[in-house]
Structure 1
Amino acid sequence: MPVPTVLVVAARDDWPTDRVVAALTDGGARVFRMDTAEFPQDLTLAGRIDARQGWAGGLATAYRAVDLADISAVYYRAPNAFALPATMSGPERRFAAAQARAGLGGIISALDCHWVNHPAAMSRAEYKPLQLQTARACGLAIPSTLITNSPDALLAFTGDMGGSVICKPVASPVLIEDDHLKTVYTRRLSDSDLADLRGIDTTAHLFQAWVDKVHEVRLTVVGDRLLAAEVHADSDRAHTDWRSDYASLTYRVAEVPAGVAEGVRRFMDRLALRFAAFDFVVGPDGTWTFLEANPCGQWDWIEHATGLPIAQAIADELRGGPA
């Protein structure tokens, strides 16, 4: 059996990826790791296609090289932006970045091999409206949700819900302001919020009915493996959004109910994913309610806290391909 060659495309300083690379090499796989920030100054691309054969050629740095034809799997996880020469003007840099994205990104995306995950599938799956519709179609419970920039629509929604409503970002909750990284956390709307809805009309906002919960679950899906951890919050802030107070959290390995497992696997198939980090709320009656699924979600702290073998599962998936 040939030795698998895995292309790893990730930020150079992403240490969870270090764990996956170690598991791959310990398992006998060949690994070519690259960050798109290496292109074009420290990474060379040569790809050729004609009527007789598909894409051939390779990727190389001063220290290592890989033949495109040898790549059996790709692990793609949030690489950095292209690092272009500082001597370029602004327009030149924008033009060169677009060419690099279409050239290097295009050839890598065209590789006919096993992906965890393909960037096109990841990009599509990041849309929360699509996630909610897919989860619903796959038989998973979801909270009543409104996405709007209309204050009147929000007031009608809160009236229909007859209880607490939360607000959270539709896209990434992270922003940079005054050179500081900030996170916009989920929060419950108060009466004073609803009395003053200025700013709602400036962009899209996501509102959901509050779902009573005993705890939450971070379910990491790798191929056909479901690795679940209960997340128990011991503060009011963390009970609303556990990301706001990690110090108050405790974790416990969980079993996934059969119906949820079936729905999750359908979800993964529909969105062509082989990895995703799902968040669920578990109610007092034991119902698992889907919140979201991140196709490039964090997982290393969960492995550390619970011992769930997530890095090994990713490496196994890359070495063996689909089950």
Structure 2
Amino acid sequence: MDDRRGSVLVLTNSYDVTSDLVLRALAARGIPVVRLDPGVDPHEGASLSAVYGTAGQRGTLRTRSRALDLTRVRSVWVRRPSPYGGPPGLDEQDRRFAAEQCFWGTGGILASLPGAHYVNHPWHNRAAEHKPAQLAAAQRSGFLVPHTLITNDVHEARDFAAREPGGVVYKPVWNTPYRVDNKPHSVWVREVHGHDITSAVAVCPHVFQAKVDKAFDVRVTAVDHRLFGARIDSPDLDWRYRQDLMRCTPIAVPEAIARSVAAYLAGFRLVYGAFDFAVTTDDAWYFLECNPNGQWARQPAGITDAVARAIADQLQKGSDT
């Protein structure tokens, strides 16, 4: 067993089956793994302690099945942990207080493990999730970026729509959980016209973007310098809307795109990123967004297996320092 550099700590929820693909790869290599959902498990028997002082930093994570010396964590995979919440049974104010203490306390400890390699570091993930920051970084990295307006000014929005001859799409700045008739409801990317834009725009920032006359979409999954491209053919403007109707096939990533991906990851200090592009008939790749923790297991088996191995490689190697 390769335990010379310690265990891999996987932060994810108990329903995350995607992580199992990587965990199986690590198990086959004899790499010890500890799985934790930091937003839930501390309220169900897990405990976390850290000590700081002149002797350095040390600590222990205890789950129902094992104890982990925090100085022996080689890598941390920040996959899909649950939001931090307070324990059940408290009133609203006390539960909110406990949830915030968990976020800043538990989250702070897990983001500051000495010598650990993060895929990705949670603070880097958070910085890279802001769409305005993504667009700015994409421009600096050399990507083509569709003409985009982010505004809460209805007149600016209507003028923008009127000036774009190919049409305009709307997308939310953040995928906030939303319910209609008490049922979960997603806000998909959709085409809008000037008469669709009402004074409700003033409530919050909206993203309006020139519609790309695309031939197909591409998802590029990046694990450090290794890129895995998947062409996505879908009848929908937003291929996520009916994923059962989309068709994915492997596609080569152009060298210019690969260079821009590397620059983008370096700018946000990311190891992993899921990049979405709209590709035109003349093979122009337009950057749409990069999810620093995007899904990858619904792609063709060959790509999925390769991504799982690439992530396992990163977690196995640990920190370079």
| TM-score, normalisation: structure 2 | 0.93
SS in 2 for 1:6: strand
Q: Which residue of 242, 250, 272 maps to 1:253?
A: 250
SS in 1 for 2:207: strand
Please give the alpha-carbon distance, in whole angstroms, between the structure 1 residues aligned to 2:219 and 2:302: 12
How far off is 1:99 after superposition?
1.6
Aligned-partner residue type, residue 63 of structure 1: S
2:21 corresponds in structure 1 to 19
1:70 corresponds in structure 2 to 72
Query: Residues 308 and 30 of structure 1: is their aligned pair in 2 closer, same or farther, counting only changes over 3 Å?
Result: closer
Query: Residues 171 and 210 of structure 1: is their aligned pair in 2 closer, same or farther, counting only changes over 3 Å?
Result: same
SS in 2 for 1:172: coil
CA contact (8 A) 1:166 1:209 kept: yes
2:59 corresponds in structure 1 to 57
Query: Residues 4 and 214 of structure 1: is their aligned pair in 2 closer, same or farther, counting only changes over 3 Å?
Result: farther
How far off is 1:83 after superposition?
5.6
Please give the alpha-carbon distance, in whole angstroms, between the structure 2 residues aligned to 1:10 and 1:74: 11
2:280 corresponds in structure 1 to 283
How far off is 1:17 after superposition?
1.0
The 5 Å alignment of 1:290-305 reads 290-304=287-301
1:227 corresponds in structure 2 to 228
CA contact (8 A) 1:4 1:319 kept: no
2:33 corresponds in structure 1 to 31
Query: How many positions carry a matched residue from both structures?
Result: 316
Query: Residues 322 and 264 of structure 1: is their aligned pair in 2 closer, same or farther, counting only changes over 3 Å?
Result: farther
How far off is 1:82 after superposition?
4.3
1:317 corresponds in structure 2 to 314
Q: Does 1:45 align with 2:48?
A: yes
Gap regions ≥5 residues in structure 1: none
Please give the alpha-carbon distance, in whole angstroms, between the structure 2 residues aligned to 1:13 and 1:200: 36
Identity of aligned residues (%): 34
Please give the alpha-carbon distance, in whole angstroms, between the structure 2 residues aligned to 1:3 and 1:226: 27
Please give the alpha-carbon distance, in whole angstroms, between the structure 2 residues aligned to 1:45 and 1:307: 33
The 5 Å alignment of 1:184-203 reads 184-190=187-193, 192-194=195-197, 197-203=198-204
1:263 corresponds in structure 2 to 260
SS in 2 for 1:49: strand
Alpha-carbon displacement from aligned partner over 1:119-143 (angstroms, at most 9, x marks no partner): 1001110000100100100111000
Alpha-carbon displacement from aligned partner over 1:53-91 (angstroms, at most 9, x marks no partner): 1x2121002321110010010001221134644332222
Q: Does 1:123 align with 2:126?
A: yes
Aligned-partner residue type, residue 78 of structure 1: R
Query: Residues 322 and 282 of structure 1: is their aligned pair in 2 closer, same or farther, counting only changes over 3 Å?
Result: farther
How far off is 1:5 after superposition?
1.2
SS in 1 for 2:64: coil
Alpha-carbon displacement from aligned partner over 1:184-222 (angstroms, at most 9, x marks no partner): 11111136425xx23121211100001111111011111
How far off is 1:155 after superposition?
2.0
2:210 corresponds in structure 1 to 209
Q: What CA RMSD, in Å, does the superposition of the two structures yield over aligned residues?
A: 1.8
The 5 Å alignment of 1:39-188 reads 39-53=42-56, 55-82=57-84, 84-112=86-114, 113-172=116-175, 174-188=177-191
Please give the alpha-carbon distance, in whole angstroms, between the structure 2 residues aligned to 1:9 and 1:145: 34
Query: Residues 72 and 290 of structure 1: is their aligned pair in 2 closer, same or farther, counting only changes over 3 Å?
Result: same
2:271 corresponds in structure 1 to 274
Aligned-partner residue type, residue 143 of structure 1: P
Query: Residues 138 and 82 of structure 1: is their aligned pair in 2 closer, same or farther, counting only changes over 3 Å?
Result: closer
Query: Residues 69 and 264 of structure 1: is their aligned pair in 2 closer, same or farther, counting only changes over 3 Å?
Result: same
SS in 2 for 1:280: strand
Please give the alpha-carbon distance, in whole angstroms, between the structure 2 residues aligned to 1:305 and 1:181: 32
Query: Residues 69 and 191 of structure 1: is their aligned pair in 2 closer, same or farther, counting only changes over 3 Å?
Result: closer
How far off is 1:265 after superposition?
0.5
Query: Residues 70 and 321 of structure 1: is their aligned pair in 2 closer, same or farther, counting only changes over 3 Å?
Result: closer
How far off is 1:103 after superposition?
1.7
How far off is 1:26 after superposition?
1.2
Please give the alpha-carbon distance, in whole angstroms, between the structure 2 residues aligned to 1:224 and 1:321: 16
Please give the alpha-carbon distance, in whole angstroms, between the structure 2 residues aligned to 1:269 and 1:81: 27
